[in-house]
Amino acid sequence: MIKKLITISILSLPALLNAQGFQVNLQGQTQQGMGGAGTGLVQDAAAVFFNPGGVSFLKENTINAGATATIANGEFLDAASSRVSRTDNPVSTPFAAYGVFGSLDTTKYFSRFKFGVGIYTPFGSTAKWEDGWTGRFALTSLKLQSIFFQPTVSWKVCDKLGIGAGFVLGYGNVELKEDLPLYSNGTYGTADLKGTALGYGFNAGVYYKPCKKLSIGLTYRSQVNMNLNSGTATITVPQSVASNFPSGPFSSHIPLPQVLTLGFGYQVNSKLALALDINYIGWKAYDTLAFDYKNNTATFPDTKLPRDYKNTFAFRLGGQYKITEKFTARVGVALSLTPIKPGYVTPEVPDADKVNLTCGVGYKISNKFRVDASYTFENLKRTDNNTALQLNGTYKTYLSAPGLSLTYKF
């Protein structure tokens, strides 16, 4: 017992690692320009993501590839000390690429089938806080990427109705870092959790065009459970307590939520088109974030962090106007309601109810090539006292996301 008395046993780590999914709505430049709406208005190969049912309505075979630079600048004002900490985020570039192929011989029934493939990034997050920031013991940086690969079949059942579905194979990688309150030689310990994950699901949709002007889309993207089976936890602590905090493998699981979307498209006239999407997002699945470390010690147990997200809605409205035969301008707005309840906001994703303003342009270079660009701006502000962390303050983030894509038709 006496040995136990003076042998150091560090209490369990206060809040080892907090992470959460984060929805990214950057899957097509045309749609991004219009507030992210595109389920009910099918225009290009991004329909593989937005509505597999609408893919069969595409008149050409196309390849579309684009990327979006997201630049997020964040601040945190600690309520008690008024200290302001800033993020030092790297630019991340979510990308999306689609191909749609099928017989163009409309005399054949087979031309009613289209085959598509998409690679896109539906969830991701990047947050890197400046060194020594107030919340360093909750999180210093998070990098979460997901890449979905989706082969798709779409069938134009009749001239007014198309259905389609795709299998989703999801790959994710995550790296999460935080400081540990174990101090030696002027520095603190750190924890670095890194790993890759795989998951699968599906994306199915119906596209209905009752008349020339109106189109309606309904899609369901299933939940994708990302299982991280062989992550690496690298724990760096003062040498004298290193055996209490062993590095080693860990496993975890992050649910990427199901999304049900109802979308409308309305072709007002030959120049003007409008689109509206309503998303219902199943964030309730994100209840607990657990890390199961292989090498547990009395002082290094598994971590279970309450997230307790709620299901939520997003509304996306956009319009596009064909200024000339070659040039199209787009504008949009989106309202996203946060899934994070009061008392659960964490510094990886200080999410809030938010309004996105977007705009975009498209330019038809030739009959084969077109280029589309978009710009999204997001302004986030959230004041919260995280119950588990007792981290109390106001987050403010400006996010700018300019993007560009190239489309080739054949």
Partner 1 sequence: MKNIFYKSVVFASSVTLLLSCKPNLTVPTPSKGSIDASRYVAIGNSITSGFADGALYYDGQMVSFPNLVAQQLKLVGGGSFAQPLMPVSSIGVGSTGNAPFKLDYSTDCLGVTSLAPVPKAAQGDVSAFSTNIYAAQGPFNNMGVPGAKAITVAVSGYGNPANGSGNYNPFFTRMAKNPTSSSMLSDAMLLNPTFFSLFIGNNDVLAYATNGGASDFITPAANFDASINAIVDSLTKNGAKGVIGNVPDITALPYFTTVPWNGLTLTRQGQVDTLNLAIWSNGTATGRYNFKVGNNPFLIKDPSAPLGQRLIKEGEFVLLNVPLDNIKCHGLGSIQAIPNQYVLTATEIANIQTAVSAYNASIRAVADNPKNNLAFVDVNAFLNQTKTGFVYNGITLNAAFVTGGAFSLDGIHLTPMGNALLANEFIKAINVKYSSTIQQVDATKYHSIIFP
- Tokens 């174990």, located at residue: 182
| Residue 165 sits in the site that holds partner 1 (CB under 8 A) | no
Residue 151 binds partner 1 (CB under 8 A): no
How far is residue 220's CA from residue 404's CA, in Å, rounded to a whole number?
A: 27
The 3-state DSSP class for residue 269 equals: coil
Binding of partner 1 at residue 394 (CB under 8 A)? yes
Alpha carbon distance 386, 395 (integer Å): 12
CA separation for the pair 346, 16 (Å, rounded): 13
81 scored as a contact of partner 1 (CB under 8 A): yes
Using CB under 8 A, pick the residue from 10, 157, 204, 278 that binds partner 1: 10
44 or 178, CB closer to partner 1? Answer: 178
Q: CB of 328: closest distance to partner 1 in angstroms?
A: 11
CA distance readout (Å), 230 to 145, 151, 194, 293, 305: 16, 27, 9, 10, 19
- Is position 29 an interface residue for partner 1 (rule: CB under 8 A)? no
Q: Rounded to the nearest whole angstrom, what is the least distance from the CB of residue 82 to partner 1 in the complex?
A: 5
Are 204 and 167 in contact by the 8 Å Cβ rule? The answer is no
Closest distance of CB 379 from partner 1, Å: 8
Q: Could you tell me which stretch among 133-141, 150-158, 211-219, 256-264 binds partner 1 (CB under 8 A)?
A: 133-141
**Amino acid symbol at 193:** L
5 touches partner 1 by CB under 8 A: yes
Number of residues that bind partner 1 (CB under 8 A): 58
Does 211 participate in binding partner 1 (rule CB under 8 A)? no
Smallest separation (angstroms) from partner 1 to the CB of 36: 18
CB within 8 A of 257, min separation 6: which ones?
21, 23, 223, 281, 282, 283, 284, 285, 286
Instruction: Identify which of residues 39 and 87 has a Cβ nearer to partner 1 in the complex.
Output: 87
Interface residue with partner 1 among 117, 241, 262, 406 (CB under 8 A) is: 241
Record the tokens describing residue 117, joined without a space.
Answer: 């493939």
Strands, E assignment, 31-160: 62-68, 71-78, 84-86, 95-101, 113-120, 124-128, 141-158
Q: Where are the alpha helices (DSSP H) in 183-330?
A: none
Lookup result for tokens 């992210």: 36
Span from 158-166, 246-254, 303-311, 392-400 in contact with partner 1 (CB under 8 A) = 392-400
Does residue 371 bind partner 1 (CB under 8 A)?
no
Reference 400, options 131, 74, 76; nearest CA is 74
Q: How far is the CB of 76 from partner 1 (least distance, A)?
A: 8
- Show contacts with partner 1 in window 304-333 (CB under 8 A): 327
Does position 127 bind partner 1 by CB under 8 A? Answer: no
Q: Given the rule CB under 8 A, which residues bind partner 1?
A: 1-3, 5-11, 14-15, 71, 73-75, 77-78, 80-84, 86, 132, 134-139, 178, 181-184, 188, 237-241, 327, 361, 363, 373, 375, 377, 388-391, 394, 396-398, 400, 402
